[in-house]
Amino acid sequence: MPIYHNLGKFPQKRHTQFRKPDGNLYYEQLFGTIGFDGMSSLLYHVHRPTQVKEIGKAMDMTPKIAVAKNIASRKLVGFDVAPKDDFLDSREPMMVNSDVLIGLAAPRKSMTEYFYKNSDADEMLFIHKGTGTLKTFLGNIPFEYGDYLIIPRGMIYQMEFDTEDNRILYAESAHPIYTPKRYRNWFGQLLEHSPFCERDYKLPQDLQTHDEKGDFVMKIKKQGMLHHLVYATHPFDVVGWDGYNYPYGFSIHNFEPITGRVHQPPPVHQTFETSAFVICSFCPRLYDYHPKSIPAPYNHSNIDSDEMLYYVDGDFMSRTGIGPGYISLHPAGIPHGPHPGTYEASIGKTKTEELAVMIDTFKPLQLTENAMKIDDGKYFKSWLDKE
Ligand SMILES: [Fe+2]
């Protein structure tokens, strides 16, 4: 996160004595990434953050692969994923490769009995339905419909939901998730041609410090296992921190679309990047304004990337038979394009209300058993002319 932020209290000089009202020291922690070369923050704890009491049984979270080598275009009915009470139980991996795991979740209950961190991956949670608060040891971020929550690896968090009606698209990335480099200057500031700016970020706020001892369960995802650790002190015991490494939110509704006289390619929709995949936001916008423009996209061959599109809201201009919560997967190696009739029907249209999230991966995606349960099985034939 290339913007400096701080909350709470910390010493004016780093790595120096910082004392509690009773004269004892607070405990400093450097929370960094990519060795000592990436984003980092300096945290100050009431207690040493190292007090592991017990290590319980670990659970294997490895996704069960149904189709390892896929050539078929797919359509998944995402809202058919059954809601479950627990946030982690509710997460169903759909598509995976060695860089990213993409899944759907419909959690009903807030996380109150344990804390969670993913030490394998940066997490992106896209909130399709529901409101609540992402509670972290670096502060809280209220969330609502349309929010991306970016949670760098290792962040300790809990999800608090206001109701039981929640739908989330999530991605676990083996590589750090950043905003696109081409929209930042050499200091990291977002440039004028960026479709969003620093004011749009939802930064952590309302840092709550819990000075408590006891038994605190932390579930830690590492090497595909979910480990169960019991800590002797409350994980949210930070009195202050500053730096660049922290979770943040960004609303898809604050993405300002880039439009043109003729059809603009997918990179104009790019919102986040990694070294292995991109995340794009397709938002309501005016269509192309060349007098002879065709607003629907041309057929295209993404010969070296799989395209996963998650439909959020509105009519999707180039598709038929698609509704909110649906996922389409257009695999690398074969061209895809608008459905029969939609290419012609788009001519003369002036705007679209479509809202969708796209994840394009450079390595092919494997489909899980969960995905096959909600796969319609015939989408790959949907471009045939009607007899
Ligand atoms: Fe495409």
Per-residue pLDDT of 207-261, as tens digits, reads 999 999 999 999 999 999 999 999 999 999 999 999 999 999 999 999 999 999 9
Query: Residue 216 Cα, ligand 1 centroid: separation in angstroms?
Result: 46
CB atoms near residue 251 (< 10 Å): 18
Q: What pLDDT does residue 317 have?
A: 64
Alpha-carbon distance of 159 to 52, in angstroms, equals 23
Distance from the CA of 153 to the center of ligand 1, in angstroms?
A: 30
Q: How far is the CA of 267 from the centre of ligand 1 (A)?
A: 11
The alpha carbon of 102 and the centre of ligand 1 are apart by a number of angstroms equal to 18
Q: Which residues of the chain have pLDDT under 70?
A: 1, 317-318, 387
Confirm if 254 and 200 have CB atoms less than 8 A apart: yes
In single-letter form, the type of residue at position 344 comes to E
Which one-letter amino acid corresponds to residue 248?
Y
Residues 296 and 285: their CA atoms lie apart, in Å, by 13
Contacts of 126 (CB under 8 A, 6+ apart): 147, 148, 149, 168, 169, 170, 252, 310, 357
Supply the pLDDT for residue 318: 66
Ligand 1 mean position, distance from CA 253 (Å): 22
Gap from CA of 17 to ligand 1 centroid (Å)? 55
Phi then psi dihedrals of residue 285, to 5 deg: -160, 165
Nearest residue to 97 (alpha-carbon basis) of 377, 368, 335: 368
How many Å lie between the centroid of ligand 1 and the Cα of residue 286? 19
Between the CA of 230 and the centroid of ligand 1 the distance, in Å, is: 46
Question: Which residue stretches of the chain are H helix?
Answer: 87-90, 342-345, 369-373
Spacing, Cα 228 to ligand 1 middle (Å)? 41
Cβ-Cβ contacts under 8 Å for 354 (sequence gap 6 or more): 282, 283, 284, 311, 313, 314, 315, 316, 317
Q: Which amino acid is at 383?
A: W
Over residues 267-318, the pLDDT tens digits come to 999 999 999 999 999 999 999 999 999 998 899 987 889 999 999 999 876 6
Q: Distance from the CA of 337 to the center of ligand 1, in angstroms?
A: 6
Collect all residues with Cβ–Cβ distance below 8 Å to 208 and sequence separation of at least 6: 135, 139, 140, 236
Distance (angstroms) between ligand 1 centre and the Cα of 210 equals 48
Distance from the alpha carbon of residue 143 to the mean position of ligand 1, in angstroms: 29
Q: Which pTM was predicted?
A: 0.97
CA distance 229 to 88: 16
Tell me if 171 sits within 8 A of 148, measured CB to CB. Answer: no
Structure token pair of residue 104: 């759907």
* pLDDT of 35: 86
8 A C-beta contact, residue 162 and residue 230: no
CA–centroid distance, 386 to ligand 1, in Å, is: 22
Find the 328 Cα to ligand 1 centroid distance in Å. Answer: 10
Q: pLDDT above 70 covers what percent of the chain?
A: 99
Residue 300 CA to ligand 1 centre (angstroms): 6
How many A from CA of 271 to the centre of ligand 1? 16
* Residues at Cβ < 5 Å from ligand 1 ion: 307
Ligand 1 center from residue 358 Cα (angstroms):
9
For residue 67, the surrounding DSSP H or E stretch is: strand 65-67
> How many whole angstroms from 311 Cα to the centroid of ligand 1?
13
**CA–CA–CA angle 188, 190, 192 (5° rounding):** 140
The candidate with the shortest Cα–Cα distance to 158, out of 117, 103, 208, is 117
Measured in angstroms, how far is the CA atom of residue 284 from the centroid of ligand 1? 17
How many angstroms separate the most distant Cα atoms in the chain?
A: 83
Cα–ligand 1 centroid distance for 302 (angstroms): 7
